[in-house]
Amino acid sequence: MTMKQEKKRIYLRAALALAALLVVLLALDNLSFVPSMLLTVLRKGAIYALVAVSMNLLNGFTGLFSLGQAGFMLLGAYTYAILTIPAASQKSIYQRYANGGIGFSIPELLSKPLGGFGLLLGVVFCLILAGFIAALFAFLIGLPVLKLKSDYLAIATLGFAEIIRAAVVYEGFGPLTNGSNLLYGFTSFASFNLSLGGTTLHLETVMPFLFSGICIAIILLLINSTYGRAFKAIRDDEIAAEAMGINLASHKRMSFIISSFFAGISGAMLAMYQASVQATTFKSSMTYEILLIVVIGGIGSVSGSIIASFLFIASSEWLLRFLDNETWIGGFRVPLLRSGFRMVVFSIIIMAVVLFFRKGIMGDRELFQKKPASTAKTAKKEARSK
């Protein structure tokens, strides 16, 4: 079997696996006995998986240490919200600002002539536009920032994220961003639910998986392309990469822009999940959480980032939540169980994982990656053939 045929088979298997997963998620979304927290973990985990993979593209595959992911997510979230708030609702949402809002909604404009397909088309267009706005800012700040090395690059991108967060709540931008107030009422994942007679077909879990799956597939194609190999060469040895004819500046900029583009899309998806947007959501702690997911999963492993995203969300949002509740057994109160103890235990678990799995869960390997034949076996085969 040729390499081209092997790739086609892999892509076909991936497409079939995604289709099967979407069918399972559709069932989970519409079964009444499924715990709501499980659906929360699945929805939020899918979004965090995308942003973690986008960060891994930059940090793990290109070797650039950036901490600006929350800032690019914020840009994507606000761009999406501003473009999708219904025109009739903008006056009440922007009540503090005269003539606030843009006066139209892209999904609304497209859904009138095209119906449900127009809604989907409008949302996809706004998601892409949210990514482009984040990518544009990445291009502008990348010109001076990408000349910096290591820790200085991290500090500069972290500073950018904080500046963007402060700029969004600035009163001068209030007619567009609504200042420090919430943006809400825009198209969310619940907007895709279908009314079938007297029943409703819920798609709130299917849609984030579909969008994230497509975006992660694009990132995987990029990683396995000549550009991806150039990124890895820069990560391993910049001097050797430059000697091979790789343009360091343009490839670093490309990786930074692409990573920011998908971070912007994930920010827009987070807005769709929450059904509201506020700048306080996108604090620097969000970037640290994403970085932690990348480290736990394995720097340089896409499947590791995906697995770690769901483990992180499940642990922080659901499995350990009981630790925040005071518990009484008879007249005895269980010590330590109180508000905030969950994060203490969670931090200890994270420290243990980092200490005992220094390369993360997957290291730099992928989940379904074929193991190369050992040198001993190869030598035996060659000896037999002779």
DSSP track, 176-192? HH-TTS-EESS--GGGG
CA quadruple 263, 267, 270, 272: dihedral, nearest 10: -120
Instruction: Enter the tokens of residue 156.
Output: 């500069």
Report the range of poorest mean pLDDT among 189-193, 299-303, 350-354: 350-354
Strand partners, 183: 277
57 neighbors 225 (Cβ within 8 angstroms) = no
What is the distance between the terminal CA atoms of the chain, rounded to a whole angstrom? 24
64 neighbors 252 (Cβ within 8 angstroms) = yes
The confidence score (pLDDT) of residue 370 equals: 63
Range list of β-strands (E), the chain: 183-184, 194-196, 199-201, 276-277, 328-329, 332-333
Report the range of poorest mean pLDDT among 76-85, 138-147, 307-316, 333-342: 333-342
**Close Cβ partners of 269 (under 8 Å, ≥ 6 residues apart):** 47, 50, 127, 208, 211, 212
When pLDDT is averaged across residues 158-167 and rounded to a whole number, the result is: 93
Q: What is the DSSP letter of 371?
A: P
Residues in the chain: 386
Separation CA 373–CA 234 (nearest Å) = 27
Cβ count near 5 (within 10 Å): 9
When pLDDT is averaged across residues 115-127 and rounded to a whole number, the result is: 92
Residue 198's alpha-carbon distances to 16, 31, 128, 194, 195, in angstroms, are 31, 16, 34, 11, 7
Share of the chain above pLDDT 90, in %: 50
The confidence score (pLDDT) of residue 272 equals: 96
Cβ count near 124 (within 10 Å): 13
29-53: pLDDT as tens digits: 998 888 989 999 999 999 999 999 9
Better pLDDT: 8 or 190: 190
Strand partners, 195: 200
Query: Closest by alpha carbon to 39, among 362, 270, 310?
Result: 310
Beta strand 332-333 with 276-277 is unpaired
The confidence score (pLDDT) of residue 385 equals: 53
> Is the per-residue pLDDT at 69 higher than 60?
yes
**C-alpha radius of gyration, the chain, whole number:** 23
Q: Domains of the chain: which residue ranges? A: 26-279
Residue type, 337: L
When pLDDT is averaged across residues 321-343 and rounded to a whole number, the result is: 73
Query: Closest by alpha carbon to 256, among 68, 92, 7, 114?
Result: 68
247 neighbors 255 (Cβ within 8 angstroms) = no
188-244: pLDDT as tens digits: 999 998 887 778 888 999 999 999 999 999 999 999 899 999 999 999 888 899 999
Instruction: Enter the tokens of residue 205.
Output: 């879990």
Q: How confident is the model at residue 375 (pLDDT cuts 50, 70, 90)?
A: very low
> Is the per-residue pLDDT at 54 higher than 90?
yes
Cβ count near 365 (within 10 Å): 16
The confidence score (pLDDT) of residue 376 equals: 45
Mean pLDDT of the chain: 87
**Close Cβ partners of 342 (under 8 Å, ≥ 6 residues apart):** 316, 320, 321, 323, 324
The phi, psi pair for 328, rounded to 5°, reads -115, 130
Task: Enter the pTM of the model.
Answer: 0.89
183 neighbors 97 (Cβ within 8 angstroms) = no
